[in-house]
Amino acid sequence: MRKAVMVRQSISSIITDLGANDPDRVVVIDEDGSFTAAELDDAATRLAHALRARGVVHDDLVIVSLPNGRDFVIACAAIWKAGATPEPVALTLTDDERAEVERISRPAAAIGVRPRTAGIEWFETVQAPPNPHTLPDLAAASWKAPTSSGSTGNPKVVRSTAPALLDPTRPVADFLPLRATQLVSGPMAHSATFTYAFRGLLTGHRLVILPRFDERAWLDGVQQHRVTWALVVPTMMHRLLRVPSAERGPDRVASVESLLHMGAPCAPDLKRAFLEWVGAERVVEVYAGSESNGLTMIRGDEWLVHPGSVGRPIGSTEVQIRSGSGQAQPVGSVGLVWMRRGERSSYEYVGADSRRDVAGWDTLGDLGRIDEDGYLYLVDREDDVINRGGEKIYPTEVERVLEAHPAVRSAVAFGVADEALGQKIGAVVDIGDATVDRDAVMAWAKARLGPRAPASIELVTEPVRNDAGKTSRRRWSLRSVAGRPVTDT
């Protein structure tokens, strides 16, 4: 049997071909309605000409900082057509964080939010006049350069080493269908949402884009547009399960063929309830970072046999557990998760150093263990572990207990400096519109955690994680120390 040959073409030409060969095909549905392949190609081509006219050249970085919707798609398509690399930047970055990202990445242009740095060409919108000239078919050496979430410190730019080339006739991964109606509800500037939305679009997905995640809007979108595939994170899963069962019957998700979840460790009780609702055979979990330095995967039915696991390595990935000094750890021991995937690094940091060693092994700072069957279990992030009088406490364990309270939408636990113990446990809890007081939540935590319960809890009514499920425990800790109310992420 002859082996199938992968024929990659530039992302620019994929978008052009789609507009020429299937012009009326709807590729995006957002708040403004339907958007066709021809409309996308035309708008992206116009903006690409404008980018090049204002100095953007092959392999430049161009920041995209826009809300979810067709404009975000147009901007990225135009950047690829100009031969450059999209650098998605979250709208939630502070001015100082945005200035730091611009300083280290030195983009040629920015689309959306005005740059904080002089000398960067600014495009306030994606609207551009027509241009009769033909664009050259260019493919940047890097297809994306997202900023990290900043959950462990200042945001950094993670530039992919994969070029802007793709075979649109083949699925990008075994867990990603070739054809689908994909619901996009996370922030498109976040690496995972960006990757799966555009990988899907370029291989045949129709994108149904929500402005941001809302549990009832998510259910409405799935049912109305007959969504077949979606990416979710544990925060979304938790909020979906809080919708009364009468409002999320099986008919609401009947069209869904598969769901992918990733982005953060998922509490076993939450996952089990989610599998019961959606169907274990329709859920896949993947563990990976923005860096794509390795992946593990587990199906829902497989997870029920190995509850709590994030799966086994896929895609030529190797996994090791090491001590802080770099020694390999035995089966069942907790240590740093190191991964290796091929000879060439899948990414490079811009303005930062990775921990990749000479043998190609790399770690993102996650702690975990591997069982005797080769399944990986995550514990927490190395930098977030709370050291209270020599006792190590994992914030994730505290958060899971708090989020099990029926009035709690989400929670973040963190270490706060303490003269006697070194650190004590603090937490901020989002209760939405629920009527519950701090003492009741504290009592809930103490009854289940005992001495590991938070010493202080702050109640808020706004999300403590973004729509990608990310937060900065360090930032919450600093605000708590400063004595200021914690009111945003």
Tens-level pLDDT at each residue, the chain (489 residues)? 455 556 899 999 999 999 999 999 999 999 999 999 999 999 999 999 999 999 999 999 999 999 999 999 999 999 999 999 999 999 988 899 899 999 999 999 999 999 999 999 999 999 999 999 999 999 999 999 998 755 555 678 999 999 999 999 999 888 899 999 999 999 999 999 999 999 999 999 999 999 999 999 999 999 999 999 999 999 899 999 999 999 999 999 999 999 999 988 888 989 999 999 999 999 999 998 777 788 999 999 999 999 999 999 998 899 999 998 889 999 999 999 999 987 788 888 888 888 888 888 998 889 999 999 999 999 888 888 888 887 888 888 999 999 999 999 889 999 888 888 888 899 999 998 888 999 999 999 999 999 889 999 999 998 888 877 788 788 788 776 555 544 333
Query: Rounded to an integer, what distance in angstroms lies between the CA atom of residue 250 and that of residue 72?
Result: 32
pLDDT given at position 487 = 37
pLDDT given at position 488 = 36
pLDDT given at position 410 = 87
Q: In degrees rounded to 5, what are phi and psi of residue 414?
A: -160, 165
Domains (range + CATH), the chain: 265-382 (2.30.38.10), 385-482 (3.30.300.30)
In this structure, what token pair is assigned to residue 55?
Answer: 């100095």
CA dihedral 211, 212, 215, 219 (to 10 degrees): 40
**Element spanning 240, H or E:** helix 234-242
Contact 196, 259 (CB under 8 A): no
- Write out the DSSP string of 67-119: -SSHHHHHHHHHHHHTT-EEEE--TT--HHHHHHHHHHH--SEEEESPPSSTT
Sign of CA dihedral 227, 228, 230, 234: positive
- Residue identified by tokens 């010493």 is 455
pLDDT given at position 418 = 81
Query: Rounded to an integer, what distance in angstroms lies between the CA atom of residue 294 and that of residue 436?
Result: 42
Where b means 16+ CB within 10 Å and e means fewer, 126-164 reads: bebeeeeeebeebbbebbbbbbbbbbbebbbbbbbeebb
pLDDT given at position 373 = 95
pLDDT given at position 92 = 87
